[in-house]
Amino acid sequence: MSNEREVIGIHAEAKRGNPLAHVFDELTRFCRARSLFMLHYCTGCGAIELPPAMTSRFDMERLGIQPMVTPRQADILLVTGYVSVKTLKRIILTYEQMSAPKYVIGICSCTVNGGMYWQSYATAKVLKAYLPVDMYIAGCMPRPEAVIAGLRALIDDIEADRAESWKRYYQHYDHYLGNQQSLFGDDWQTPTDILAEAEHYGLLGEHTRGKHTALLERHQRPLEALEMRLRVPEEPE
Amino acid sequence: MNLFLELLLMPLVAFLVGLLMVLMLRRIGAKLQRRVGPPFFQPLYDVVKLYAKRTQVSHGPIHDMGIVMAVGGYIAAETLLPVPGMDGLADKGGVIALAYMMMIPSLGLALGVGQCANPNGSIGISRALTAMLAYDVPFMLVIFGAAWVYGSTDLSEMIAQQQQGEWGVARMPLLALAGLLTLPALMGKQPFEIYVAPAEIATGPMVEMGGKFLGGLFVMQAFQLYTAGALYTTLFLGGGEHWLSFLPKIFLVVAIPMMIAYLFPRYRAEDMLRVMWKWPVLAALLGLAMVMK
């Protein structure tokens, strides 16, 4: 593993030698911070504070933030409220389908520590154990001002190149996968092959592979295309 | 001007004007909802951000090619659309070739979406092609009528005639009305955006498009708005003597459908077909009868 990391390091260094690379980096970072497509995964009550943040009273669009409806198009995954174990599976599938750079925002106390669901057996309490979270907006529920303030803080982070948690998901995949497996069982597998993606994009880290990914690789099946079949119901005689 | 330079400049100008149109539409929408709306460079930020995504999800070569066709079709269309100072290939192509070019993006999109194998995408693209069927009938009637009145399919010839005599909208008011009624569908604006339907089929054709693919579609939308505005202006509003008179006209043409966009609830695909084949076609046929008498 360490060899590959060094190769990446040298590669990145060579890229820095090009003066134009900095200009493009600055430009893309500038645009990234000003254009954020948001996928709001409305799991709980916090979702009720988003419509006022989007509509005429607080108007997120003036910050370049607009709602999108599919993970492929989105930059931000907003998790608004408590996350049940069943919901968490969907959130992870959604997160893995988004294209990087991607950011996760946990809204409400429930995503921080379980909030009022602390004693619930069916709730995943700490969101950041399963996904890298860029920003928490605590409160029960946070008002639209707080949501906007949190988004502004994220924008500052992106512009200063601090919001890099999506890389952490690749580089510490073993840790996140371990936590996911402890909830969903050892045969947990998502349609997105994170290990292959990490390899492809040169984001393998020291902690990408470990005993949990070894467990995954033991039973991992490649995705197969769904069978396309048209079933015509028979006419009743 | 050098033809090669024109072929480079015309799509570029179209893209920049198209981005401004996207901004205008979003600002109009924001004003109607009493919001501030996006900042001036927002469409550009969106496109740059989408192209700068670090990981891309492609579903195969046809998916990639589909987007190239979608953008390429409009780039080809821009070179056939005369603008002040630049004629490009307008004298060689004419309005019929332009109408063909304007259909290619939808077909390219259909190819690309087909390979994504997402059911929402398939529903969306089948609705988009139905929409094309709906608006192309009145659109073709309008083009036929205009070509009949001017006695030519050459767009530069049409502009020359209008600048010497009176504008097309005065010579064939009913055809101009039919064209205006067709515009919202041609631009994919409300109430004819059933194929996008974000809350129901997750933006239909765009459902699997992320990063560069969505960026390509944003570029395509800028071209689409520009093409619709510039073509209507060329056929009915006297084209452009110079940019200062041309730009207000095309922005006005694009703004009109947006002003009324939020007034009506969305039509279903079959209702859209019914509406398009009834009122614009009726107006266009009456207009044809008037100009051919």
Q: Band the pLDDT of A185: cuts 50, 70, 90.
A: confident
- Would you place residue A2 in the very low, low, confident or very high pLDDT band (cuts 50, 70, 90)? very low
The pLDDT score that the predictor gives to residue A125 is 86
What is the number of domains present in chain A? 2
What ipTM did this prediction achieve?
Answer: 0.81
Does any domain span residue A124? Answer: yes
Q: What integer pLDDT is reported at residue B241 of this predicted model?
A: 79
Q: What integer pLDDT is reported at residue A226 of this predicted model?
A: 66
Cβ–Cβ contact B26 with A under 8 A: yes
d(C-alpha B82, C-alpha B241), whole Å: 11
Identify the band that residue A3 occupies on the pLDDT scale cut at 50, 70 and 90. very low
B-chain CB neighbours of A56 within 8 Å are 33-35
Q: Are residues A173 and A103 in the same domain?
A: no
**CATH number where A110 lies:** 3.40.50.12280
Structure tokens belonging to residue A3: 């060899």
pLDDT at B232 over 60: yes
- Does residue A176 belong to any structural domain of this protein? yes
Residue A41 Cα, gap to closest chain B Cα (Å): 13
Query: How many residues does this entry show for chain B?
Result: 293
Considering the domain architecture, whether residues A86 and A185 belong to the same structural domain is answered as no
- Residues of chain A in contact with residue B35, where contact means CB-CB under 8 angstroms, are 55-56, 59, 61-62
Q: Has residue A15 got a pLDDT over 80?
A: no
- Do A121 and A180 belong together in one domain? no
pLDDT band at A17 (very low <50, low <70, confident <90, very high): low
Q: Is residue A106 part of a domain?
A: yes
State pLDDT tens for residues A203-231.
Answer: 888 888 888 888 888 888 877 766 767 77
CA distance A89 to A180: 9
Could you tell me if residue A233 is inside a domain? no
Q: Which whole-number Å values give the CA distances from B112 to B186, B206, B212, B259, B283, in the listed order? A: 20, 10, 13, 32, 35
Averaged pLDDT for residues B9-24: 92
**Binary contact (B30, A97; C-beta < 8 A):** no
pLDDT of residue B218: 92
How much is the pLDDT for B92? 79
Among A76-85, A141-150, B82-91, which is the least confidently predicted range? B82-91
Q: What is the mean pLDDT of residues B167-173?
A: 82
Report the DSSP beta bridge partners of residue B86: B83
To the nearest whole percent, how much of chain B has pLDDT over 90?
A: 26
Residues A70 and A139 in one domain: yes
- Tens of pLDDT, residues B98-109: 888 888 998 888
Average pLDDT for chain A: 84
Q: What is the mean pLDDT of chain B?
A: 87
Number of residues written out for chain A? 237
Phi and psi based region of residue B120 (left: phi greater than 0; alpha: psi -120 to 50; beta: remaining)? alpha
d(CA A144, CA A122): 28
Report, as an integer, the average pLDDT of B188-205.
Answer: 81
Q: Are residues A150 and A183 in the same domain?
A: no
Q: Are B262 and B193 in contact (CB under 8 A)?
A: no
Residues of A with CB below 8 A from B37's CB?
A: 59, 61-62
User: Angle at the Cα of B214 (from B213 to B218), degrees rounded to 5?
Assistant: 120
Average the pLDDT over B165-191 and give the result: 86
For residue A76, report the phi and psi dihedrals to the nearest 5 degrees.
Answer: -110, 135
pLDDT in tens, B25-77: 999 989 888 888 899 999 999 999 999 888 888 888 888 898 999 999 999 99
Same domain, A204 and A155: no
What is the model's pLDDT at position B191?
85
With a pLDDT cut of 90, the percent of chain A lying above it is 17
Domain that holds residue A215: 164-220
Q: What is the chain B residue with the closest CA to A31? A: B45
Instruction: Please check whether residue A191 lies inside any domain of the structure.
Output: yes
In a shared domain, residues A157 and A168: no
Residue A5 has pLDDT above 60, yes or no: no
Rounded to an integer, the average pLDDT of B163-178 is 85
pLDDT band at A8 (very low <50, low <70, confident <90, very high): very low
**Would you list the DSSP string of B174-224?**
HHHHHHHHHHHHHTT-TTS-TTT-HHHHTTGGGTT--HHHHHHHHHHHHHH
- Beta-carbon separation of B54 and A100 below 8 A: yes
* Location of structure tokens 């607009």: A66
Cα A24 to Cα A204, B45, B268: the distances in Å are 24, 13, 44
What's the pLDDT at A6?
A: 40
Residues A176, A88 share a domain: no
Q: What's the rounded mean pLDDT across residues B230-248? A: 86
Q: What is the pLDDT of residue A4?
A: 41
pLDDT at residue B264, rounded to an integer: 83
**Do A44 and A153 fall into the same domain?**
yes
Same domain, A70 and A133: yes
User: Which letter does DSSP use for residue A73 in this model?
Assistant: G
Domain boundary among A123, A146, A163: A163
Nearest to A61 among B30, B34, B208 (CB): B30
B104: amino acid identity, one letter? I
Grade residue A154 by pLDDT with cuts at 50, 70 and 90: very high
Residue B83 has pLDDT above 60, yes or no: yes
Q: Are residues A157 and A169 in the same domain?
A: no
The Cβ-side half-sphere exposure at A177, using a 13 Å CA radius, reads: 27
Asked if A83 contacts A123 with a C-beta cutoff of 8 angstroms, the reply is yes
Instruction: Please give the model's pTM, rounded to 2 decimal places.
Output: 0.86
Please check whether residues A194 and A156 belong to one and the same domain: no
- The residue among A133, A163, A193 that closes a domain is A163
Q: What is the pLDDT of residues B108-126, one digit of tens each?
A: 888 888 888 788 888 888 8
Instruction: Please judge whether A72 and B202 are an interchain contact, meaning their C-beta atoms are less than 8 angstroms apart.
Output: no
- Compute the distance between CA of residue B118 and CA of residue B105 in angstroms, rounded to an integer: 19
* Residue A127 confidence (pLDDT) above 50: yes
A contact set with B (CB within 8 A): 27-28, 30-32, 34-35, 55-56, 59, 61-62, 64, 68-73, 75, 97-101, 197, 201, 225-226
Delimit the domains of chain B by residue range.
3-292
